[in-house]
Amino acid sequence: MIMQMGDKILNMNRIMKKMPLPALAALSAAFLLGTTNLAFAQAASLGDVLCNAFANAKPFGQAFQWVAWAIGAVMTIQGIHGFRQHAEGPQNNPMTRPIMLWFGAGCLFAVPQIAGMVANSFYTTGGGGSMSCSVGSTGGGASLDLMVAGFVGNIKGPIIAFSSIVAMLSGLFMIVNGLVKSGKYGHDPRANSIHQILTNLGFGALLLTIGDNLNMMMSSVFGSSTVSEPTQSSVLSWGFVSSVGGGSAQFANAIAAALAFIQIIGAIAFVRGWLILKKVVGGDGQTSMAQGITHILGGVLAINIPAFLKIMDTTFGTNLM
């Protein structure tokens, strides 16, 4: 009975694999946004609601740890049973299976340490970077340009932060999935190949350190990890706007809001690009390497759209900025 329960628990990753990522995201969002919470009741704006959801998503990491411990306990019992089977019939029950089960169980019992070790193996630091949730001002002006700028500024920080927590939770899930596959490698090497194990661990570490990845990509593309803000950089300033409309303040506010919205789309595309590459390397899905790279590079350019526009303006000599 215990062995049957163990097999059912260890096969849960097959169900998770069949469930589409958008469905998991929708269920998580419904849980996070639908949970009764004093902080939600005190939310003053949409940005506050998103930041509260970002804060409530952090305990999901602890939930992954509990699941890992439960699976590790079952794998330990299976390992003991495997050693007994090996003693009774060495030819039909190789020693590698219980050894790998115990190795995987030990790693799952120490998921936080193992996750940090995997992340530090790919990066000099295992932190999540500078991702934080900050709610911007909602403005308060009566004109349409100020309303749009206030709304985009209010939701920009929370949406980017929420995207980062989705990436980090996805990375933690991949690391746990990779450790489970490593434990089952001795039992079924074809279904749990070294390639799949390394893919889950590698991309799990990558998504777990999403902030550091963004800084690395920003430094590679722009030579600096600093993200330009539309309100802090010179927006498009065509001369005919002031001559026709009598002032370009409204035009500048609208352009700044549009650029900020592009930065939001860029953050989402950056995270999605790494998830696409994981599917391509893992050999599942209908996506391609070109789609993943396009999302990543396009996301980086969109996140720092003001600096990108300045580069294009200087390159082509349009003098629009």
pLDDT tens digit sequence for 43-56 = 567 777 778 777 77
Residue 279 lies in a domain: yes
Confidence of residue 242 (pLDDT cuts 50, 70, 90): very low
Q: Measure the CA–CA gap between 172 and 178, rounded to whole angstroms.
A: 10
Per-residue pLDDT at 238: 45
DSSP code for 5 = H
Residue 289 lies in a domain: yes
Q: Yes or no: say if 68 and 114 are a contact pair by the CB < 8 Å rule.
A: no
Residue 301 lies in a domain: yes
Q: Return the structure tokens found at 4.
A: 């049957």
Residue 321 lies in a domain: no
Confidence of residue 17 (pLDDT cuts 50, 70, 90): low
Q: Measure the CA–CA gap between 98 and 73, rounded to whole angstroms.
A: 13
Residue 255 lies in a domain: yes
Q: Yes or no: say if 58 and 165 are a contact pair by the CB < 8 Å rule.
A: yes
3-state secondary structure of 122: helix
Per-residue pLDDT at 181: 86
Q: Yes or no: say if 273 and 296 are a contact pair by the CB < 8 Å rule.
A: yes
Cβ-proximal residues to 153 (8 Å cutoff; 6+ apart), any chain:
136, 137, 138, 139, 231, 257, 260
pTM of the model: 0.65
Mean pLDDT of all residues belonging to the chain: 75
Residue-range definition of the domain harbouring residue 100: 2-316
Query: Is the pLDDT reported for residue 70 higher than 80?
Result: yes
Residue 154 lies in a domain: yes
User: How confident is the model over 136-160, as a mean pLDDT?
Assistant: 71
pLDDT tens digit sequence for 93-143 = 888 888 888 888 888 888 888 887 777 776 655 555 555 677 766 555 556
Amino acid at 12: M
Residue 250 lies in a domain: yes
Number of domains in the chain: 1
Per-residue pLDDT at 60: 78
Q: Measure the CA–CA gap between 184 and 6, rounded to whole angstroms.
A: 12
Neighbour-count burial of 38, counting CB atoms closer than 10 A to its CB (0-12 exposed, 13-18 middle, 19+ buried): exposed
Query: Is the pLDDT reported for residue 3 higher than 80?
Result: no
Confidence of residue 240 (pLDDT cuts 50, 70, 90): very low
Residue 248 lies in a domain: yes
Sign of CA dihedral 99, 100, 105, 108: positive
